[in-house]
Amino acid sequence: MFISPMLLQEAASPPADYANVITELKLDGVRLIYSNITGTPKLFTRHSLDVTSFFPEISFISLPKGIVLDGELISVNKENKPDFPRLMERFKSVNTAIPIQFVAFDLLFYKGRQITQLPLIKRKTLLNTVIPTDTITMVTSQWVEGNSETYFDVVKEYDLEGIVVKKPQSKYHFGKRSNDWLKIINYKYRMGKRSELVGKETGHLLYNKAGYKLQLMEYKAQKNRKKLYEKYRQYMKNHIS
């Protein structure tokens, strides 16, 4: 079952820091819906393309029946950062030697019931019961309360794409853009990285079967995320305490 995902409203800068906000890392990948209502998992892009067969390592993960997840599909490079061109190589060649990871940040259906009217903070709590332990192919998105300005400073220092700021009481609106969910882009990163590709539309890549020989890299999915949060905590201690 395809679900049109909720969209992000872009903001020029992070909102003023306050406690009642959820701040997450914006990952440079492809939006992906994981749907397992009937017991047969399906994977869809935000444009409703069925890409289940392209990512068997995700569709084969054993998760409870009756759930729908919203998240981001990424592939990391040798610096353990999300790498969009590398992900596109995986799309083009369907080369499973290029590792990918699904980062789930929302739960839309639970035990066969739509829960989009529940507050985001409640949905995230339920999400942690669906995915209790991170694996190399599927993790839950890490978030912090408030401090979006400080978090954005750390993201820029690490040369990552940006942050997402969400209201913890926000509901999920299918296919709509809302000020409840904001994205703040690190444009230095965008200009440097995205010059390699034009746009993020992947539909035209899905049927190109040309093979590519890529160097196999050690995949440490959580290393960069742990380093980022260590840096974030250190920054917070030095500048806020």
Q: Which domains does the chain have, with CATH numbers?
A: 8-239 (3.30.470.30)
Residues acting as catalytic residues: 26
Model pLDDT for residues 40-92, shown as the tens digit of each residue: 999 999 999 999 999 999 999 989 999 999 999 999 888 888 999 999 989 88
Secondary structure (DSSP) of the chain: ---PPPEEEE-SSPPPP-SS-EEEEEPSSEEEEEEESSSS-EEEETT--B-GGG-HHHHTS---SSEEEEEEEE-B-TTSSB-HHHHHHHHHH--TTS--EEEEEEEEEETTEE-TTS-HHHHHHHHHHHS-S--SSEEEPPEEES-HHHHHHHHHHTT--EEEEE-TTPPP-TT-EEEEEEEEE-HHHHHHHGGGSS-S--GGGTT-------------TTHHHHHHHHHHHHHHHHHT-
What pLDDT sits at residue 238?
Answer: 59
What pLDDT sits at residue 102?
Answer: 96
Per-residue pLDDT averaged across 111-130, rounded? Answer: 97
What pLDDT sits at residue 189?
Answer: 87
Say whether pLDDT at 187 is over 70: yes
Model pLDDT for residues 4-30, shown as the tens digit of each residue: 999 999 999 998 766 689 999 999 999
